[in-house]
């Protein structure tokens, strides 16, 4: 275990590839509640009432109220030094870098990250609850009926189909294309015999398949780091664990302290 003051930068030599996985902890210092723990998001609203397809079918207005609150909370905060350091690392490393987040708050994109996989979707997109049109940008704050509905379904004579937040709810599958980008990035490093590095930041490691990425990366020969405020259950799976706040640890690990 390493303390933040003892952190040395990752060996990001010329050919090294870096996959970064972030969770709710990286946005905590921006002011957004994490998943578990004191003041955790799910304490106020039971998950089954607001973040499942069944909940949306039962009471779409309640689900939209919850997500409108989350949109308002995310809109009120700014990316922090950890988000900005990751965006800068991407600018320096180009295609040798990939950022995968479980967060839906949009802060990585706001910090300038572009090589970004939003595994659990984004608060800032909506999709139709009925037809298969792709998700699209949406920054409204619905709280009561009439809720936003799909203009394509209406035009096709399919009646009123509510729009829903384009986030992955409990019990829903992840996008196969997103997962392929992650596994493809890791296996290409192996093909090229490039040093592979894996860094997880601010994630409790309990939500799959993201929690399995560290093992997959290790099987492909990656050296693995975890930067987290406290030691999570799956800390044993990492070669290096740094206990500390993301804004302190991430810039140091990336060799960007005070850039």
Ligand X SMILES: NC(=O)c1ccc[n+]([C@@H]2O[C@H](COP(=O)([O-])OP(=O)(O)OC[C@H]3O[C@@H](n4cnc5c(N)ncnc54)[C@H](O)[C@@H]3O)[C@@H](O)[C@H]2O)c1
The catalytic residue positions are 120
3-state secondary structure of 113: coil
Give least dist CB 53 to ligand X, A: 16
With both helix axes pointing from N to C terminus, report the angle between 210-219 and 176-191 in degrees, rounded to the nearest 10.
20
Establish if 23 lies at the interface with ligand X (CB under 6 A). Answer: yes
CA dist 242 and 64 (Å) reads 38
Among 229, 234, 235, 257, binds ligand X (CB under 6 A): 229
In the block, tokens 């040798």 appear at 96
Q: Of 3-11, 139-147, 149-157, 219-227, which segment contacts Zn ion by CB under 5 A?
A: 149-157
- Half-sphere exposure of residue 89: CA atoms within 13 angstroms, side-chain side: 31
Establish if 24 lies at the interface with ligand X (CB under 6 A). Answer: yes
Give least dist CB 64 to ligand X, A: 17
Establish if 122 lies at the interface with ligand X (CB under 6 A). Answer: no
Among 12, 82, 123, 128, binds Zn ion (CB under 5 A): 128
Establish if 78 lies at the interface with ligand X (CB under 6 A). Answer: no
Establish if 107 lies at the interface with Zn ion (CB under 5 A). Answer: no
Nearest residue (CB) to ligand X, 123 versus 150 = 123
Among 7, 10, 18, 32, binds ligand X (CB under 6 A): 32
Q: Of 124-132, 137-145, 193-201, 250-258, which segment contacts Zn ion by CB under 5 A?
A: 124-132
Question: Cβ-count burial of 30 within 10 angstroms (0-12 exposed, 13-18 middle, 19+ buried)?
Answer: buried
CB 100 within 8 A of CB 182: yes
Q: Of 128-136, 184-192, 195-203, 244-252, which segment contacts Zn ion by CB under 5 A?
A: 128-136
Please choose which of ligand X, Zn ion, none residue 103 contacts, taking the beta carbon within 5 to 8 angstroms, the exact cut-off set by kind: ligand X
In the block, tokens 């957004």 appear at 32
Among 20, 29, 118, 125, binds ligand X (CB under 6 A): 29
CA dist 208 and 171 (Å) reads 11
Question: Can you spell out the DSSP letters for 150-166?
Answer: -HHHHHTT----BEEEE
């Amino acid at each position: 275990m390493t303390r933040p003051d003892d952190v040395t930068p990752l060996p990001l030599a010329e050919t090294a590839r870096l996959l970064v996985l972030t969770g709710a902890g990286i946005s905590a210092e921006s002011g957004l509640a994490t998943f578990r723990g004191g003041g955790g998001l799910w304490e106020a609203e039971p998950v089954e009432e607001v973040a499942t397809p069944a909940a949306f079918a039962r009471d779409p207005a309640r689900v939209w109220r919850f997500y409108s609150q989350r949109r308002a909370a995310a809109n009120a905060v700014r990316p922090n030094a950890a988000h900005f350091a990751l965006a800068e690392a991407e600018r320096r490393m180009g295609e040798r870098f990939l950022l995968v987040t479980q967060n839906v708050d949009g802060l990585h994109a706001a910090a300038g990250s572009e090589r970004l996989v939003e595994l659990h979707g984004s608060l800032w997109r909506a999709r139709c609850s009925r037809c298969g049109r792709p998700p699209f940008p949406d920054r409204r704050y619905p709280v009561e009926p009439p809720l936003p509905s799909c203009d394509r379904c209406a035009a096709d004579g399919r009646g009123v189909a509510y729009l829903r937040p384009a986030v992955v709810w409990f019990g829903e599958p992840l996008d196969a294309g997103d997962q392929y980008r992650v596994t493809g990035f890791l296996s290409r490093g192996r093909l090229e015999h490039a040093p592979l590095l894996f860094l997880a930041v601010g994630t409790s490691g309990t939500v799959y398949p993201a929690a399995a990425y560290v093992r997959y990366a290790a099987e492909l020969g990656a050296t693995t780091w975890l930067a987290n405020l406290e030691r999570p259950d799956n800390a044993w799976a990492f070669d290096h664990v740094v206990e500390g706040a993301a804004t302190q640890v991430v810039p140091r690990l990336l060799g960007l302290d005070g850039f």
